[in-house]
Amino acid sequence: MFEQTFKNIDDILYKDSGADSELDYIGQTSWVMFLRYLDELERDKADEAELKGEEYQFILDEEYRWEKWAMPKGADGKLDHHVAMTGPDLVQFVDGKLFPYLAGFKQKADHAQTIEYKIGEIFSELKNKIQSGYNLREILEYADELPFRSTKDKHELSHLYESKIKNMGNAGRNGGQYYTPRPLIRAMIQVIDPQI
């Protein structure tokens, strides 16, 4: 499921004039997937708190949550096309409001170890390169279909990212410098023999 979705997203990014390389593809896919994953994590924590009779404090203000800006849904659970931003409106929101809001977390965070600080640090370094809001709308719809709930889903996603980084290195791109083959990692662990 993840692999086909990533191929579909790469095809869309290939057609977009803002993303020029495999490195751009993974960078743009990553920020979308991160916000999608954060949404699932927040909803899980909110459900947990509700079961305990507690109130959950969301990290993101309502306007910036996935279900509000990326995938507003109607009563039927499907994307509400009358409410969903697309085209230039979507790109203006992402570039002019969403990214600056997320980057601002770095200054507001209590200390560097908080998730808020890390979100701010990530989004102060990133730039949305998807120039077409219509392409971005398609990417958001693909991302929304992905499950992040089970350990198996998260494992599949991590392997897919690892293989994408490996492929960038094999293609002579600079992104592959981060790839360390699994057999080498296992050999290093055996030699070092770390004790817990």
Range of lowest pLDDT (53-67, 71-85, 91-105, 182-196): 182-196
Q: How confident is the model at residue 19 (pLDDT cuts 50, 70, 90)?
A: confident
Helix ranges, the chain (H): 2-15, 22-51, 66-69, 87-93, 99-103, 105-108, 115-125, 133-144, 151-170, 182-192
pLDDT (average), residues 6-11: 89
CATH architecture of 2-149: Up-down Bundle (1.20)
Gap between the terminal Cα atoms of the chain: 36
**This model's pTM is above 0.85:** no
Contact call for residues 70 and 35 (beta carbons, < 8 A): yes
Dump pLDDT digits (tens) for 122-179: 898 889 999 999 999 999 999 999 887 767 766 667 776 677 776 666 544 454 455 5
- Residues 21-44 have a mean pLDDT of 88
